[in-house]
Structure 1
Amino acid sequence: MSDDPAASDETRHDSDAPPHGEMRISPKPVNPPIFNLPTGVLVSLALVCGIYALQALVFSADINDWITFEFAFMPLRYVYPLGEQSFAWLWSPVTYSLLHGSFEHLAFNSLWLAAFGTPVCRRIGERRFLVFWIVTAVAAAALHAAVNWGEPSVMVGASGVISALMGAACRFAFGGRLRFAAAGREPPLLTIPAALSDRTVQIFILVWFLGNVAVAVGLPLMGTDSAAIAWDAHIGGFLMGFFGFRLFDRKHI
């Protein structure tokens, strides 16, 4: 037995060497993605940001006025015979969700879209996410029209859809989600009674509705002109997302 440290090191390396004829390949380090967002959310963000950039930097005032008239949602349209106007009454209950009135409006909605759109899109997939967007945008516009029937108001913004994403997240993303994530499994879809019984969901819904009630009665919200916030569309979207998410979920048991 040798007392030479170098000899012992050499012996140790030889014992760790792979058998003759085999090659040991060290795995390459995996670089995390720069944007850890689903494709559906990235496309949505690119679309709303791109449209706003064109309106703010490229299009003339006349073109922007035409875009607002043709693609924003206006309850007043539905007072007049639909056959005597353009088809804006048909597509505007969806297209309004792609328009934004200011950079602050866009930035605020983009942050919430990334936060709540990500878990929902990952769960239901890209195609269902698109359908979810369309259906919840229409639901938000419908309640806004019911509350403001015949009014010459103009509504733009993805807030109704984002509220629906928040409602959908209450059905699976709160409460014990971390326990399922730690086990590498998607959490099950909560029933409506189970979701409403969850402490975290209760607090979230309470705070969310109090905020919208405050806007409805005219209290300022984070320095924003509350009269310009379509609180009724928020509620319409949230209710559709919360109560109707099972129709879109592909993982429910």
Structure 2
Amino acid sequence: MERDQLATPAETDAESDTARGREPAFNLPAGLTGILLFLIAVHALRTYLLSAAADQELILNFAFLPVRYTLPLSEQGLVWLWTPVTYSFLHGSWEHLIFNIFWMVAFGAPVVRRIGMVRLAVFWCLSAAAAVALHTVFHWGEIIVVVGASGVVSGFMGAAARFVFSPSGRISRQFAHLNRRLSLTETLANRSVLVFTGIWFLTNFLVGLGVFSVGGAGSVAWEAHIGGFLFGFLLFGFFDPRD
């Protein structure tokens, strides 16, 4: 993808505000706000309106189960086709959802500002699929229900690591999306990135070992987290218009 040579008015204003030290108190991208509201609405619908039987049917048709891919496709219709994405819109509890929203606001916002909603839609689908793909490698054929946007959130974290720690001089959280994207070599040589990714991987390995749990959603699909993170970290350049 090629980068436009002329800065947009929004970018010029943002850089001007950065130089003057001004930063909005709350400036979440509208597209990301819409996604968060959709996730909340889905969980509220499941929690307060659907019967237990109806919710179980919804989980069966939209959650991810590794066992699906060991069954003949004729026995399950096309469910196997969309569940690698739709599972990311479901959550196991309000705590699980709130935990994901917190990190999505922190790391999803700069990614959305940088790549826009069209690229975000593709990034969301592919990072969700990459997350459960790695999870399936470790749990092939198992009857495990996987729900939650944690894999996508991890993808946002991996993608953000490629530019929010840029040595360009811009350190404002609101305008980090204007930083230059580091090459993989530069990224792996950046001490801030190494500390961030090291802590992130250590945390997930400890979760996998059962040392502690996060999100209040029962067992954690930590392999899916790693799959999403690696997707965002390694492949973000394909989505980034700021070459």
| The two structures share one fold, judged by TM-score above 0.5 | yes
Mapped partners of 2:180, 2:53: distance in 1:
50
Cα deviation for residue 86 of structure 1 reads 2.2
Matched ranges for 1:85-104 at <5 A = 85-104=76-95
3-state SS of paired residue (1:179)? coil
Mapped partners of 1:204, 1:163: distance in 2:
12
CA contact under 8 A between 2:213 and 2:220: conserved in structure 1?
Answer: no
Mapped partners of 1:69, 1:58: distance in 2:
17
3-state SS of paired residue (2:147)? coil
Deviations 1:98-154 (A, max 9, x none): 000101000000111111110000000111011110010000011111110000000
Say if 2:197 is the partner of 1:205: yes
Mapped partners of 1:217, 1:224: distance in 2:
16
3-state SS of paired residue (2:142)? coil
Q: 1:83 to 1:223 in 2, by over 3 A?
A: closer
Identify the residue that residue 42 of structure 1 maps to in structure 2. Answer: 33
Q: 1:178 to 1:52 in 2, by over 3 A?
A: farther
Higher Cα Rg, which structure? 1
Mapped partners of 1:45, 1:223: distance in 2:
16
Mind listing any 5+ residue stretches in structure 1 that lack a counterpart?
1-31
Choose between structure 1 and 2 for higher RCO, CA contacts under 8 A separated by at least 6 residues. Answer: 2
Cα deviation for residue 219 of structure 1 reads 1.1
Identify the residue that residue 143 of structure 1 maps to in structure 2. Answer: 134
Cα deviation for residue 36 of structure 1 reads 1.3
Matched residue type, 2:185: P
Mapped partners of 1:56, 1:165: distance in 2:
27
3-state SS of paired residue (2:106)? helix
Deviations 1:174-197 (A, max 9, x none): 142543769x89211110110111
Say if 2:49 is the partner of 1:58: yes
Segments of 4+ in structure 1 off by > 4 A?
32-35, 222-225
Match of 1:124 among 112, 115, 125: 115
Matched residue type, 1:75: P
Identify the residue that residue 156 of structure 1 maps to in structure 2. Answer: 147
- Percent identity reads 47
Mapped partners of 1:103, 1:192: distance in 2:
36
Identify the residue that residue 73 of structure 1 maps to in structure 2. Answer: 64
3-state SS of paired residue (2:178)? coil
Match of 1:228 among 203, 213, 219: 219
Match of 2:100 among 101, 106, 109: 109
Mapped partners of 1:84, 1:223: distance in 2:
34
Match of 1:187 among 179, 184, 187: 179
Mind listing any 5+ residue stretches in structure 2 that lack a counterpart?
1-22
Identify the residue that residue 241 of structure 2 maps to in structure 1. Answer: 250
Mapped partners of 1:222, 1:156: distance in 2:
14
Cα deviation for residue 222 of structure 1 reads 5.1
Q: Report the TM-score, using the length of structure 2 for normalisation.
A: 0.85
Q: 1:223 to 1:154 in 2, by over 3 A?
A: closer
